[in-house]
Amino acid sequence: MNFRDMVEVKICGLTRREDAETAVAAGASYLGVILAPGGKRTISQARAAEVTGGLHARRVGVFVNAGADEAMRAGEAAGLDVLQLHGAEVPETAARLRDAGWTVWKAVHPRDAAEFEQAVRIWDGAVDALLLDGWSPDAPGGTGAQFPWAEVAAVRDSLRGETRLVAAGGLRPDNVARAVHLLRPHVVDVSSGVETAPGVKDPSLIHAFVAAALGGPEPT
């Protein structure tokens, strides 16, 4: 089977119900909300439930350095399916969450192939998915920064077993097909690349992104 036939799409940083509905209608499999405090797209647990509840997609909550108990309480209140750890969390935290029945994604910010391989050594098998985001001094995520795709692609197969790969950071409708071609991710994750302002999604960009990720032409 062509790897592109298996890729899924996550629209993250959702703050409005209409954007979540558009994402599902376009074919996104995951809806992401930011529950870490202080971000441009941060919403409350109650608001997250309103934005994503009842839609035919899996719901992902983004946390930064939250304790396991805090993340689980928030996940239950927001109606989440996946807890995405986007800070300096340790494998023991992920283990507690997985033991409690949660699906856990861990975000890392590799600046070269060596940093990706180091992350694989720490997290492969310890989480359900490793999410690759661009490094930025400004924020843990949502900055539009890219990680070095070609360098990571060269060592992508060091990630083995059941751990899935999620590609994020700087993705847009005009480059996501290339990211899928190079990195063979299980999921592509976009936030700022489909926005007109932080937390405000553009329906045409959402549809274009999903179409390019799932069925766009292979880069030449």
Q: Is 112 part of the annotated catalytic residue set?
A: no
Q: Catalytic one among 19, 128, 133, 189?
A: 133
Neighbours of 61 (CB within 10 A): 25
CA 62 to each of CA 14, 56, 59, 175, 209: distance values in angstroms, whole numbers, following the listed order: 11, 19, 10, 24, 21
Q: Catalytic one among 5, 12, 128, 174?
A: 12
CA 29 to each of CA 165, 187, 200: distance values in angstroms, whole numbers, following the listed order: 15, 9, 19
Compute φ and ψ for 2, nearest 5 degrees: -60, 135
Q: CA–CA separation, 145 vs 141, rounded Å?
A: 8
Q: At what angle do helices 203-215 and 17-26 cross, to 10 degrees?
A: 30
Q: Is 133 part of the annotated catalytic residue set?
A: yes
C-alpha triplet 138, 17, 204: angle, nearest 5°? 75
Point out the residues that are catalytic.
12, 133
